[in-house]
Chain A
Amino acid sequence: MTGVLGFNTTRLASPHLTPAHEAWRQTVRTFVDREIMPHVNEWDEAGEFPRSLHKKAAEVGLIGVGYPEDLGGISEDIDVFHSMIAAEELSRTGAGGLVAGLMTHGIGLPPIIALGSEDLKRRIAPSVLSGEKLIALCVTEPSGGSDVANLKTRAVRDGDHYSVNGEKTFITTGMRADYLTVAVRTGGDGAAGISFLLVETDRPGVSRTPLKKMGWWMSDTASIHFDDVKVPVENLIGIENQGFLGIVANFNMERLSMSAQAVAFARVCIEDAAIWARERHTFGKPLAKHQVIRHKFSEMVRRVNATSAYLDNCAWRVKNGQSPISDLSLLKVQATRTMEFCAREAMQILGGAGFMRGHRVERIYREVRVMAIGGGSEEIMNDLAARQMGL
């Protein structure tokens, strides 16, 4: 490892990356440096970022990466690594709210792409991929998020429309979204009674309340109430009562992307702690020369390296058409644990300075938990993996 310990030197070389991947990384990096980095703290404190950022991001390819060309996406010669590079480089900001808010379509759109009718795809996807419209995913309810199969929001068919009643909560970009991809119960109990409906937020009966939270400030999070909302049957995503497939459609990319983010956040922690440990002197020498502190860096880098290699391997398998459910679940646990460890150790190294608002490590520390809970919590991921192992 040469160069100064930091975000760049803690990235393992991957055999799966081509010059075109690296060129893409460079574009995202420049975009982040120019359009995002100077404003990150201000946006986070303000609790929002400009909506126009979606369009700018779409122009460079950040929104369309990985989606079909005929729907306005970029898919020719594109693989999961392009999407992961986007997640990784956006995470260099150390602002999870930015990634969550800017890339919400990454969970809202795939069910439509995977299951939706041609008409529905053409109606929704192009305007989302151009950054004009925002789409959110509504699965979690006040009564629970992990136990998806028991969700309660109900859609009752009445002639040419559905009537939707119920409540969703913790919905990222719920306040700003134009479209909601909503998991609803159309049939009996359990997973076999669930459908996905596309609900426009301007339909009568949709009401939204913003939620305040521990981190991810610049992305809005909402509770959304559906009170007799009439939704035309054309808005059904896929086949009635087969909506669970839509939830599955998100799994691979969401877990890979969150893992790529978590590792990147860990690398940010190492970078900021390393700069500090070199400059800060205590007891007559730089912090970095105290053995207790030096070893913290070795521990952090060791975990980041192991996790990066695991991430690379899982991504390569997904690229080759596999769906390594067990490993993707464990990868997410591994990656968020690594982020947790590095946030803790970096914060210790930074001392009081790291506790002050405006520091990337301070924010990452506050945003560890949402990474370990959202998109499949640690406990659920571990249990899913164990089940795959036949236990």
Chain B
Amino acid sequence: MKVLVPVKRVIDYNVKVRVKSDHTGVDLANVKMSMNPFDEIAVEEAIRLKESGTATEVVAVSIGPEKAQDQIRQALAMGADRGLLIKTDAEVEPLGVAKLLKAVVEAEQCELVILGKQAIDDDSNQTGQMLAAMLGWPQGTFASKVSKEGDKLSVTREIDGGLQTITLNLPAIVTTDLRLNEPRYASLPNIMKAKKKPLDVKEASEYGVDIAPRLEVLKVTEPPKREAGVKVENVAQLVEKLKNEAGVI
């Protein structure tokens, strides 16, 4: 079973994001970029499937700028077998990403795609679902456990009320939640070995799909600053404030 793992280059989760002064977006100049944390979990899961003999090959794909090769190399250093960069400097929305991934899935004849449930930059939480719909494949989203049972895939999902376990026919789509696993470190020897693993680069235009954005960004602003809390003297005052200031009772 060949597994495809899309990995996205995003602003590192430790970076304090700043909105550009002209409100057209966030400041990306000299900002540390990393692999989307949910994608790291996806890579880890795919490698575990390979180590347990379930998967035969793990292919990491990224859609993004030239520099997204760094994130693919990280996936290779963790243990993926080869990489593919679909190069574009334009912003690609989930729909465009799903269309490109569909083309890759078909070209590569993958049987399983493991994606992060969302990317921490735009928090869309759409790509996996859209890809499943376009391929007509079953989907197990927000996975906290994945195992192969016979010719099916058992996926435990994190849902509002608790956990839900479903069985999927293959081929299938899985999106990862935080508790699925703890990604391994890319060790120094493996970083050095990853430099020699194959990494293909293609232009997004080669796929002949329409990835033009459907959304127009009007304005990006900082979230309102949280105001300092107040201490109330007694219950009466609390009730008074909840009623008159917060308006919740």
**Interface residues in chain A, defined as those with a beta carbon under 8 Å from any beta carbon in chain B:** 1-4, 8, 19-20, 22-24, 26-27, 30-31, 59-62, 64-65, 74, 76-78, 82
B30 partner, pick from A2, A30, A59, beta carbons under 8 A: A2
- In contact, A61 and B187 (Cβ under 8 angstroms): yes
- In contact, A24 and B31 (Cβ under 8 angstroms): no
Known: A23-B186, A74-B189. 20 other contacts (CB 8 A): A1-B30, A2-B31, A3-B16, A3-B31, A20-B191, A20-B192, A20-B195, A23-B77, A23-B191, A24-B188, A26-B74, A26-B186, A27-B186, A27-B191, A31-B185, A59-B185, A60-B187, A76-B192, A77-B192, A82-B188
Q: How many residues of B contact A (CB 8 A)?
A: 23
Shortest Cβ gap from B18 to chain A (Å): 8
- In contact, A64 and B70 (Cβ under 8 angstroms): no
Judge if B73 is at the interface, Cβ distance under 8 Å: yes
**Interface residues in chain B, defined as those with a beta carbon under 8 Å from any beta carbon in chain A:** 15-16, 18, 27, 29-32, 34, 69-70, 73-74, 77, 185-189, 191-192, 194-195
Q: Residue of B at shortest CB range from A61?
A: B188
20 contacts between A and B (CB under 8 A): A1-B30, A2-B27, A2-B29, A2-B31, A3-B15, A20-B191, A22-B70, A23-B186, A26-B34, A26-B74, A26-B186, A27-B185, A27-B187, A60-B185, A60-B187, A61-B187, A61-B188, A74-B188, A74-B192, A78-B188
Given A2-B29, A26-B34, decide whether A19 and B187 contact each other with a Cβ distance below 8 A: no
A77 and B191 CA atoms in complex are apart in Å by: 11
Measured between beta carbons, the chain B residues less than 8 angstroms from A24 are: 188, 191
Measured between beta carbons, the chain B residues less than 8 angstroms from A82 are: 188
Measured between beta carbons, the chain A residues less than 8 angstroms from B192 are: 20, 74, 76-78
- In contact, B185 and A30 (Cβ under 8 angstroms): yes
A78 and B34 CA atoms in complex are apart in Å by: 23
Measured between beta carbons, the chain A residues less than 8 angstroms from B194 are: 23
Shortest Cβ gap from A331 to chain B (Å): 25
Measured between beta carbons, the chain A residues less than 8 angstroms from B16 are: 3-4
Measured between beta carbons, the chain B residues less than 8 angstroms from A23 are: 70, 73-74, 77, 186, 191, 194
Measured between beta carbons, the chain B residues less than 8 angstroms from A3 are: 15-16, 18, 30-31
Measured between beta carbons, the chain A residues less than 8 angstroms from B27 are: 2
Q: Residue of B at shortest CB range from A33?
A: B14
Measured between beta carbons, the chain B residues less than 8 angstroms from A65 are: 188
Given A2-B30, A77-B195, decide whether A19 and B69 contact each other with a Cβ distance below 8 A: yes
A27 and B186 CA atoms in complex are apart in Å by: 6
Q: Residue of B at shortest CB range from A35?
A: B185
A30 and B189 CA atoms in complex are apart in Å by: 16
A76 and B191 CA atoms in complex are apart in Å by: 11
A61 and B186 CA atoms in complex are apart in Å by: 9
Given A2-B29, A77-B195, decide whether A19 and B73 contact each other with a Cβ distance below 8 A: yes
> Which 6 A-B pairs rank lowest in CB-CB distance, beginning with the nearest?
A61-B188, A60-B185, A60-B187, A61-B187, A2-B30, A23-B191
Q: Residue of A at shortest CB range from B40?
A: A30
Shortest Cβ gap from A208 to chain B (Å): 33
A61 and B188 CA atoms in complex are apart in Å by: 5
- In contact, A60 and B15 (Cβ under 8 angstroms): no
Measured between beta carbons, the chain B residues less than 8 angstroms from A27 are: 185-188, 191
Measured between beta carbons, the chain B residues less than 8 angstroms from A59 are: 185, 187
Measured between beta carbons, the chain A residues less than 8 angstroms from B189 are: 61, 64, 74
Measured between beta carbons, the chain B residues less than 8 angstroms from A4 are: 16
Q: Residue of B at shortest CB range from A30?
A: B185
Q: Residue of B at shortest CB range from A59?
A: B187
Interface core residue of A23, A26, A76 (most chain B CB under 10 Å): A23
Q: Residue of B at shortest CB range from A76?
A: B192
Measured between beta carbons, the chain B residues less than 8 angstroms from A20 are: 73, 191-192, 195
Shortest Cβ gap from B214 to chain A (Å): 31
A30 and B15 CA atoms in complex are apart in Å by: 14
A61 and B70 CA atoms in complex are apart in Å by: 19
Shortest Cβ gap from A103 to chain B (Å): 14
Q: Residue of B at shortest CB range from A56?
A: B185
B188 partner, pick from A1, A8, A22, A64, beta carbons under 8 A: A64
